[in-house]
Amino acid sequence: MTPPRIYKNYIDGEWVESASGQAFENVNPAHRGELLGLFQKSDSRDVENAVAAAKQAYPSWRLMPAPKRGEILYRAARLLLERKETFAEQMTREMGKILDETRGDVQEAIDMTFYMAGEGRRQFGQTTPSELQSKFCLTVRSPIGICGLITPWNFPMAIPSWKIMPALICGNTVVIKPATDTPLSAYNLVEVLEEAGIPRGVVNYVAGSGGSVGTPLMNHRDVRVVSFTGSTAVGREVSQSVVASFKHVCLEMGGKNVMIVMDDANLDLAVDGALWGSFGTTGQRCTATSRIVVHKKVYHDFIGKFVDRARALRVGDGLDPSVQMGPLINEGQLRTVEEYVVIGKQEAAHLLSGGGRLTGGAYDEGFFYAPTIFGDCAPTMRIVQEEIFGPVVAVIPADSLDQAIEIGNSVVYGLSSSIYTRNVNHAFRAMRDMETGIVYVNAPTIGAETHLPFGGTKQTGNGHREASTAALDFYSEWKSIYVDFSDKLQRAQID
């Protein structure tokens, strides 16, 4: 047998082994016997080396003109575009979602990289009149320093690009720790940046666990910025850990996203959206449609169509073009889904489809679970309130738009929401009253685009946004500049 490829860390412009000399396996969740490669089992020593490299590279990188930094990102975007199909296939093998979705994941990285390349010429500040004569006022963006980036497994190239590209275009240097389930996709992204000409030390990649790499990275004295995407429980730990050092922290965490289907909705369109929102990426999205509130007048019609479509979904290896839903990421996530299905049954929710692990034949090789729908759910049930992160959706009947919005807002999260309606008044009320960072009209709760801010309210985040120009506000600081050319002392608010 051919020995597995060994992937190294990227520190100070070199591909190097971890200080421990140990490695961990990256396996295909659809075929557990398929080993994609060995990645470095790093620890605090590797983090120390990566941060030192980023620190050394920062003075020269911050002084490189932003348009020149943008040219490097532009070259990286072109390389990503050329290798899109290869990277998508590797991503499907790495984390399971179907090829159409992994192509979209890589495309999002392409879009983000092109977008931030353009921001090299668009980091606009303000000029404004002074209250005093012969005095000029303006604002400019300034980089912050070293950024520690901790990314999840469900969008293993897109989300690293959300963090790396705005950090770089603002003049920061970065150390990224990818998820241990999906280190290859982030590796590919960093390799592309190296080929595009990123100077040594500006981008560093350290693989390993959260405890061994993530914790020392976010707590390092020289790391000024921490960006974390993951669960609310871990995000809370990140926030509490770094609060004493006053680091800039962006937390992108959980969601329990609601789709509202009104009695005047196009039901076939709503079912299309429910199917894609609930079972795309096997429900493993922070924006997944995990709750559907349906007006009682169309509840039974909607349920009938939705259940029939869910039962017909083809589940299997994401490399098979006929497959519509892939496996869960690992055994732990599968067990979590199983536990919540048991909870749903105990809560007396009606199991309408799915509800079990798929077994037999090729299913035994991976972490496959049937698309699962619970009906007649109460808003207070745990399966309605808590994030499951799997192919499980709860359907709740409602009497009115007011009740639907109340149910939608009754969870601790506030990431994404949607409404299906032909009534413009209903649509605008939902846009105004839903307590979420993202609202869709006649579309599911998934489908964010890179040029709009991404993030949520309540326990979904801490107020920052990723993507678009909003990301620049996190990865830079405003500097206000006053130029007095009066040749005399002038006192603001006094003279």
What's phi and psi for 174, nearest 5 deg? -135, 150
The residues near 21 (Cβ < 8 Å, ≥ 6 apart) are none
Q: Which of 286, 377, 387, 466 is catalytic?
A: 286
Contact (Cβ atoms closer than 8 angstroms) between residue 26 and residue 184 = yes
**Could you tell me the two tokens for 30?**
């659809």
How far is Cα 94 from Cα 98, in angstroms, rounded to an integer? 11
- Of 195, 194, 177, residue with least CA distance to 186: 177
> Which whole-number Å values give the CA distances from 153 to 34, 111, 174, 178, 203, in the listed order?
18, 19, 19, 8, 20
For β-strands 372-375 and 416-420, DSSP reports them as unpaired
Sequence-distant contacts of 266-274: CB under 8 A, at least 24 apart? 266/420, 266/422, 266/442, 267/298, 267/301, 267/302, 267/305, 268/305, 269/420, 269/442, 270/302, 270/420, 271/302, 271/305, 271/306, 271/309, 273/418, 273/420, 273/442, 273/443, 273/444, 274/306, 274/393, 274/444
Sequence-distant contacts of 425-429: CB under 8 A, at least 24 apart? 426/262, 426/264, 426/401, 429/401, 429/405
Beta pairing partners, 414: 457
How many angstroms separate the most distant Cα atoms in the chain? 85
Contact (Cβ atoms closer than 8 angstroms) between residue 34 and residue 52 = no
Q: Which of 101, 108, 194, 252 is catalytic?
A: 252
- Angular region, 360: left φ>0, alpha ψ -120 to 50, beta rest: left
Q: Is 286 a catalytic residue?
A: yes
Q: Is 377 a catalytic residue?
A: no
Going by the DSSP 8-state scheme, the letter that residue 388 receives in this structure is: -
Contact (Cβ atoms closer than 8 angstroms) between residue 164 and residue 239 = no
Any idea which residues carry the catalytic annotation? 252, 286
